[in-house]
Every structure is written in structure tokens, then in C-alpha cells.
Amino acid sequence: MEILARRWLQAQQTLTPSPANFRRLMSAFSTPHALLERPASELIQFGVSATQLDLLAHALGRSDHGAVDDMLDIANAELVCWHDEDYPALLKEIHDAPPLMYYRGRRELLNQLLFSVVGSRRPSRMGHSDAKAFASALGQAGFTVVSGMALGVDAAAHTGAISTPASTIAVLGTGVDCCYPRSNAALYQQIGAEGLLLSEFPLGSPPLRHQFPRRNRIISGMSLGVLVVEAAIHSGSLITARQALEQNREVFAIPGSIHNPASRGCNALIKQGAKLVETLADIVEEFAGWTGSELPLDAASTPSENRVASKVYDALGYEPQSLDELVQHCGLGVTATLAELSDLEVEGWVEQQRGGWQRCR
């Protein structure tokens, strides 16, 4: 199947069709060689001229297929194409599914139960923690977690899922041989070794702005559903959610404070019909029929650590409180309250937000 995909890439590079015409060609013909068996007049509807057909015959007739094979081998990349049995079944249903995709890593993940986790590039500490925890729990429940390897929620989701048996797929807005952002270099290497890196863009493609919304349709299109963890009202994550709805996928969202701008996108999705998520059970109960065995709903609560024993922690909620308010609520002096806040922050129980303190677990 890799050889067939390589020959289709060779056909694409030789014929240079539009994306729409290339999808139509691959839908109409099982192999590039099948094009050569048809008269040139029949291929005009696909934007292929007689001259291009002669060039393709010459390229495919060479015993040494040259540049395509060399390029993929040097990049340590491979291809999955429309005709392959393990091309993601759900992705094939969308109207603009990529006919060819480049990948590095575990190809077998393409046909697992796929579920997307997306969100803000600048999440709160709680948003980061929720993304990692839900992704890990989804992985333990048998879902391969799909995301876009951006900073913030995406990276947290990949990190949470990579150590589970179901692992994770990173759909890139660059060539599969390009790591972006650079700060995710270690994660990129780990996913390439233990998960799957996937991209429709040619090798070497830099991070151009228009490529990321196109990347998002693959994230949602190959997945059973999409969980939005934190998102501002005009974020890229909402683009993914809208595409998921257009693709008839399930959309889930974690609610947040009405005072937190990073939660307004999620809250808006819930008002528009997305399913509110508090625990893993809220997600997996929608897909119980997709698995051959019962999913672990008994353990499907939001993962959390044992609660810390602290008057200051007990006085805090998930909205920022000023130091004066905390001192009044917990009945300790300013010095004692600050000391306890400092310890709780170091241990990861609280964080400072918008001039106050709040829980982050």
C-alpha cells in the first residue's frame, strides 16, 4: 500500500491538478497506471491534458522512481492514501478529505477509536490540567487522542495520552518533517516514536497561517467527537468545533466561569447544543456501542488528587479572591495566609489569576 501511495504522489507532482481534481481522480481510478489506459479526451474533465498524460506515462514507466522515493526516505516519512484500507474511515466521509497524507510513527493508530481534544494555546493552569487528565482518561478508556500539537491544551492532551495504550495522533499544520512550535520539540520526537505524526502538507512545508484552519478539519473529521477544554470566543478551537458540527460529529465542552474570557467559547458551544462535560462518563456513554467491551465508566470521573488539608484552600473557590477576602474568610492573619498560599502554589494546588487567588485543582 505504501508503493501505491508513492505512485499517487508521483502522479500528483507530475499532473499538478487542483486539490478537487486530484480527489476526483483518486475516487475514479484505483491506481495511477489506470489513467494511462484511458484516452486523453476522457481525462480532460479532471484537468489532465494529453501532454501531462505523456509525462505521467514516462514517470511511471521508469524503473527508478527517483525524487519521490528519495524525498520520503530521507525524511523518514511515509504516505497513506485514499485507497488504503487503513485510511481513516470517518475522515473519508467529509467532502474535502485529503487524498494523500504524510506520516511518521504508528500507522495502526489511524483506524482506532479516535477522539479529539482541543483548546486554548494559553490555558489556565486548571485548563492545562483538565486537558491532560481527560486525555489520559480517554486513552485508558481505549480512545486514541487526536490534537494539533499547538502550545497549551493541545500539548497537554498529547502528553496525557501518549503513555496510554491507545496513544495519540498529532495532526500538523506544517510538513510532517517540521516541528512547530519549536518549544514542542521533545513532544514531537516522542509522538513520532510512540504515537503518530500526520499531515496533508508536502514535506518541508513551513507554518503558514492559512494551513492551520485546514489542519483543523482533519482533526475533527477523523474523530468520533471533539472535546473543547478552554477557548476564547474567537479561537481556532471554535473553528474545529464548527467543522465538527458540519461533519456531523459530536461536540463536547467543559464549562467555565462567566468571568473567565478563556471559558466563553466553551460556554457558547454549550448554549448552542454541545454536551456539557464534567466527567469522562459524559463522553464515553455516547460511544459505548462503538466498542467490543464495556468502557470503564466506574472510573470515569474527572481525575484528581486527594484534597489538601488547609483552611486557606477550603476558603478558596475557582474564582479569584483578593488577599483581604481570604484573610476574612479563613480567619488567619495576613502573614499566615500568605505563607500558606505560597506553599499551596508551590505544590500546585492554587494559582494567581487576575489579581487574586483561586484553586487550580
Q: Which three cell numbers stand for residue 84?
A: 488504503
DSSP 8-state assignment for residue 96: T
Decide: helix, strand or coil at residue 205.
coil
Cβ–Cβ under 8 Å, residues 276 and 253: yes
* Structure confidence at residue 299 (pLDDT): 38
Q: Residue 323 — very low, low, confident or very high, per pLDDT cuts 50/70/90?
A: confident
Q: Which residues contact 309 (CB under 8 A, 6 or more apart)?
A: none
DSSP 8-state assignment for residue 303: P
Q: Which residues contact 165 (CB under 8 A, 6 or more apart)?
A: 139, 140, 142
Mean pLDDT within 251-259: 90
* Structure confidence at residue 200 (pLDDT): 97
297, burial (CB in 10 Å: exposed 0-12, middle 13-18, buried 19+) = middle
The pTM assigned to this predicted structure is: 0.83
Distance CA(241)–CA(34), nearest Å, equals 39
Phi, psi angles (nearest 5°) of residue 175? -65, 155
pLDDT over threshold 90, residue 249:
yes
**Residue with the three cell numbers 470517518:** 90
Please state, rounded to an integer, the average pLDDT across all residues of the chain: 88
Convert 124-175 into a string of H (helix), E (strand) and C (coil).
CHHHHHHHHHHHHHHHHCCCEEEECCCCCHHHHHHHHHHCCCCCEEEECCCC
pLDDT tens sequence across 85-115: 999 999 999 999 999 999 999 999 999 999 9
Cβ–Cβ under 8 Å, residues 205 and 175: yes
DSSP 8-state assignment for residue 89: T
**Residue with the three cell numbers 489506459:** 37
Q: Which residue, 275, 278, 279, 297, is CA-closest to 288?
A: 297
pLDDT over threshold 70, residue 208:
yes
Decide: helix, strand or coil at residue 7.
helix
